[in-house]
Amino acid sequence: MRYTITVWMSGLAIAGVTLFGAPRTAAAEPPEAGLSAEATAPAPEAKGTWLTAERAAALAREYREKAAWLRSLGGAELKSTVLRWTEEEAAHYAAEAVRLTSAPALTTPEAAHFRALAATYRLMGGATTKAGLVARAEEMARRYEAPVAVVRPPETALARHLRYGKAIEAFWAR
């Protein structure tokens, strides 16, 4: 048993060296003239801020172009999950671009509290989800959200037809 594990590990190491090459160490070279040896530290980025509306729109456009290219290949690519994945990514980033460009939703302090509570529960793991704590906190957040004004579409003949159907057609036929 020990022999087969050793042989397997040796084969894995040889395959790794063959595929990726042996590790190389760079020789210490003096810095070139005119270049500073000190590098400035990059500014720390806040988590989750890499996606802006412009970046999301660019990613959506990129994924749409890739999906169009995959569709143009035809054959097996049409049945491939890669095409479906690229279309889903394009839709996701397009929705994110719309979300980032739209006005922020009005939230009450209570709704913000319950949203934060739901996020905390999610970080705790599956037990809180299983116990229903996440769902309960999200429901409370929805309950305390500011009401959204619903704008009714204008009344048109098409809207009346779609709502009442044949009765309106019979009325107009008279």
Cβ–Cβ < 8 Å for 144, 137 = no
Cβ–Cβ < 8 Å for 56, 93 = yes
Which carries the bigger pLDDT value, residue 36 or residue 91? Answer: 91
User: Domain residues of the chain, as ranges?
Assistant: 51-102
Choose the weakest-confidence range: 60-64, 72-76, 96-100, 163-167. 163-167
Cα–Cα dist 88/66, whole Å: 12
From residue 143, alpha-carbon distances to 119, 131, 139, 155 in Å are 17, 20, 6, 31
Q: What is the CA radius of gyration of the chain?
A: 29
Cβ–Cβ < 8 Å for 97, 62 = no
- Whether the predicted pLDDT of 92 surpasses 80: yes
| pLDDT per position as a tens digit, 27-82 | 555 555 555 555 555 555 455 567 888 999 999 999 999 999 988 888 777 777 88
Crossing angle, helix 109-124 and helix 133-144, to 10 degrees?
170
Binned at pLDDT 50, 70 and 90, residue 102 comes out as confident
Helices (H), the chain: 2-20, 53-73, 76-79, 81-101, 109-124, 126-131, 133-144, 157-164, 166-173
What is the sign, positive or negative, of the torsion defined by CA atoms of 19, 25, 27, 30? positive
- Whether the predicted pLDDT of 150 surpasses 70: no
